[in-house]
Structure 1
Amino acid sequence: MNRTVFAVDIGTSSLKAALIDSFGEVLAAARVRFPRAQRTGEHWENALSSAWAAVHSQLGDFTPNAVSVSGNGPTLASVSQDGRASAVLLWNDPVSPIPAESGAGKTPSLFIPRIQAFQSLYPREFSEASSLLSGPEYIVWRLTGSPVTILPDPRYEKAYWTAGDLSATGLSGVPLAPFLLAGQRFGLTNGTAGIPAGIPVTGCGPDFTAALLGTGTIEPGTACDRAGTSEGLNLCLGEPISAEAVRTLPGAVPGVWNASYILSETGAIFHTWRRDNGLAAMQYPELMKQIEQSPIVPEHQGILHPGRKVVEEIGFAVRRGIETLNAIAGKDLVWRLSGGQARNEIWNRMKADITGARFALTRTPDGELMGDAIAGFAMLGEYASMEEAARAMVRIDKIYEPDPENHLLYTEKYRTHAHL
């Protein structure tokens, strides 16, 4: 029987999980939404337990060969000496600016400003913390009892923290867990969340590096559009670059780099519009079908469907990002899709029409989960490296091509929009 990995990704609004085999086949999957209340580590654990039970109900009794975890960041929760979990400071929670004299803004770290914000918002939990952990690390700790910080690649250390940066910002005594590299063995399960004891645990760490792995965006010139609550357009490069509106970080595997164009709220904007207009009860595919079938250019100066207006605004923002990264690549890129938005066939078609780009859907729209599985099989020795696993397990199932007539109409509107 093929070996399997139970892959887990902690998103902003939900936890996703899947059982994936060494050929990249998704055998069963589940998604559990978090409550709208202030998030705690217990919400993550409860969702993990529910996801495990859901997959178990689909397959019957099974025991995976590994568990592998990823999640959004820099999100933080603290764990006290007696094992209590604090409230969670999500990566996108608004926080007050940290005073310049505290050293904020003088470091390349993405985590240090959030650690300072956590200290300000939750002083008691901060002072009582035995460890400060992000989402995937919290799950690893609950599963194994071992506090770790998952580092995607040694080059990421400055983006997390260094001893010098911690000292310069007055955080040298903060209980941060030691770094372990993605794909290493972090420990064995202890029976938490209903998952049997004795299973090796690993992870990818941040969800965006998991998505890059899980879509095979590991060769220079490959690209990924990772879209859920927020959206990131990612281009794999052979060397780092500096460009306006683009963040360059190390890639998902050694020797490559990743250029990102971030759109922080594309999914959130659409869902806010749905809620504010009393459409939350309407199924997402049904609403998108209405929007797609409405005219791109209404006849006789008719009124544009209000949902279409929102979708086009989002699409034009994505188009700007694609044009930016196409210029860096020197070619028209094919964008491998990942994330919740990739599940909607209509939006994938419309996005191709609006942007003029080609989009590729891999075997699963949840690239993060495939990336977790890739890390898991690399840890198990099924493949010699995560690169080898990605090349073997990631397969493109469908390409979305822009419709020439629709693209022309959208281009005329885009050019007008760009000059507003």
Structure 2
Amino acid sequence: MKIPLKKPTQMQVVALGYLAVMIVGTLLLALPCSSREGTWTGFTDAFMTSTSAACVTGLIPVSTYHHWSAFGQAVLLVLMQVGGLGIMTLMASFTRLLGRNMTLGERKLFMLSTGNDSVGGVTKLIRSVLLYTFSFEAAGAIILAARFIPQHGAYGIWEAVFHSVSAFCNAGFDLMGKYGQSSLTGYAGDVTVNLVIMALILCGGVGFIVWQDIFACRFDPKKFTLHTKVVLVMTGILLFSGAVLFLLFESGKTMPFGERILTAFFNSVTARTAGFNTVELAALSPASAALMIILMIIGGAPGSTAGGIKVTTFVTLLAGTLASARQVSATNIFKRRIEGDLVRQASAIATIYFSVVSLGIVSVAAIERIDLSWVTFEVVSALSNVGVTMGITGSLSVASKLILCLLMYFGRVGMMSLVIALAAKRENIPISRPAENLLL
């Protein structure tokens, strides 16, 4: 008797797609040819590195340069690119290359994964996503190459490409271990490297839909959609307010004023999504560490390479809270009314996020004998797919590393699946229940 197989749901396609990429990446990284020593890499380290790259996070148990060979680094580059573009973008691209038309379900899934709410113009959007991605990465690589080649010779070309892709995809992987540096700490005062990396992070973090809208409107802010306005305005507010606060909190540091400003802006940018750092994060003041946690939670834009609850969710929650405090029925943002369903969706996303964070903190804290603030920093960094760390990742136990892998996977796939599930239209069946007050 033939048992009929159920067709996977949209959420299962996304989840299984990322899981498949992570498993393939793990197998490739475990091979002797992937390590500099020419030996097999343990499952935990290979799996965590693969998960971190595919989920564009940047938390790593071993040094990217010292442990991985050229082949291993190339595998990481591909994993970062796949994670940055997204599984559905690649699947949609291959579908079009094979000459097959996408089904309505595939169109819906692709559009939702890129932050669009329309199933029309899929082919055009695929081209736009690929064009924007490779154009930004190529431009970043060229500028970085001009900086790295005079310093490191021909190897600077590979460094430029690797760091450009890593920055645009908000992955945070680096090859600076070759020079005894932690991430980009050796370039704390380098204006060119800082500005290029920050620009790439921001370009990748605002989302493909925003760039499409910007070019379609010919850079006219009056024609931007509400989504684009919210993303750009909040990105600017978080960038500048974060930099000012970092300057204030780190005012006692002995560093040239120009370098302090550059570092403050870099921290403000990288904390929301990327995972690079130009100063040792363990040396930050408690206030700066707390600020980084807040920025990590907020994250970037929907349909981008960034993580967190997303800036649009944060703004919707703020607007809904203000409307509730003023006892106003309508929630408005930039003179546009937001549907009540959207406010409830934002509340659901935030509630689930903080529930998972709490569970992750308790789980890791129960296993490790580490300061709770460092555990919180690491867990939030993993779930928000940021990748900044106090330097404890490599020293964690196998159990804690696997917990971080689950958090990274949920941050990249679970939150996306949740958004898709909440965005699905369902028929409302009116059921009248007895009303009763509840103390809040």
Would you call these one fold, judging by a TM-score over 0.5? Answer: no
Q: TM-score, normalised by structure 2?
A: 0.30
Q: Which of the two has greater helix per residue?
A: 2
Q: Which of the two has greater strand per residue?
A: 1
